[in-house]
Amino acid sequence: MRTTITLDQDTEHLIRKRMKERNLSFKDAVNEAIRIALKNDDANIFKTPVASMGLPSVNLDISLRLLGELEDEELLRKQQTGK
Confidence of residue 2 (pLDDT cuts 50, 70, 90): confident
Report pLDDT for 52. 84
Coil, strand or helix at 6:
coil
CA distances from 31 to 18, 19, 24, 26, 53 (A): 11, 11, 10, 9, 46
User: Is pLDDT of 7 > 80?
Assistant: yes
Report pLDDT for 8. 95
State which H helix or E strand residue 18 sits in. Answer: helix 9-22
Q: What is the pLDDT of residues 22-70, one digit of tens each?
A: 999 999 999 999 998 888 766 667 778 888 878 767 677 788 888 889 9
Report pLDDT for 43. 63
Domain boundaries defined on the chain: 9-43
Long-range contacts of 5-12 (CB under 8 A, 24+ apart): 5/30
Confidence of residue 16 (pLDDT cuts 50, 70, 90): very high
